[in-house]
Amino acid sequence: MENCQMFFPCSSTGKSVYPVMTTTDYIANSSDHVFSHGDQSSSSGGFLGLKQNSGPNTDIVKNDSINGAFHGSESEEKSSKMKGEKKIKKPRFAFQTRSQVDILDDGYRWRKYGQKAVKDNKFPRSYYRCTHEGCNVKKQVQRLTNDEGIVVTTYEGMHNHRIEKPTDNFEHILNQLQIYTPF
């Protein structure tokens, strides 16, 4: 796979990359925050619908599962060698995009470190880690079975560095994401 670098902003390539809201519950089961968009407004540029003045269709869903209500597969610092240490749970943020490609170029550099088949999903889930030194951010990318046009991206952790390859509006989006994080 090449370094596809054109998915953001949405309009440049004719690919429809914009958020949709479909199976929010699906995400809610596995993540803490869900960012999605209420409607497929055909316009471009508003990636998650996270425009500054969020209109009525702009839903930034913030799950209440934060702070202790993590279920099942919540993220934890299980660096496999931290025996006695406390598990640190990082908040995760999931959002859906309608895209023909799986890898959204958000401006950071990611290294794929795993791929797993997921139960009840014909598409595999891919695991990526930020390659920036000292940055532990991970993300998972998965395509929905019932709508293969939708890619669910789950971010885990926050970057401790600047975006490396700024795209038009993703940095702004990230800034907004930080607003909704507890730290």
Contact flag: residue 89 with DNA (CB under 7 A): no
Q: Does 110 bind DNA (CB under 7 A)?
A: yes
Distance CA 30, CA 120 (A): 15
CA distance 172 to 121: 32
Q: Which stretch binds DNA (CB under 7 A): 32-40, 56-64, 109-117, 166-174?
A: 109-117
Binding test (CB under 7 A) with DNA, winner from 23, 29, 44, 125: 125
Query: Of 14, 56, 68, 72, which one interacts with DNA (CB under 7 A)?
Result: 72
Select from 8-16, 50-58, 127-135, 144-152 the region that touches DNA (CB under 7 A): 127-135
Site stretch for DNA (CB under 7 A), options 7-15, 76-84, 145-153, 165-173: 76-84
Q: Does 178 bind DNA (CB under 7 A)?
A: no
The two tokens of residue 109 are 């550099």
Token reading at 82? 């931290």
Residues contributing to the site for DNA (CB under 7 A): 1-2, 30, 72-73, 75, 78-80, 109-119, 125-128, 131, 138, 140
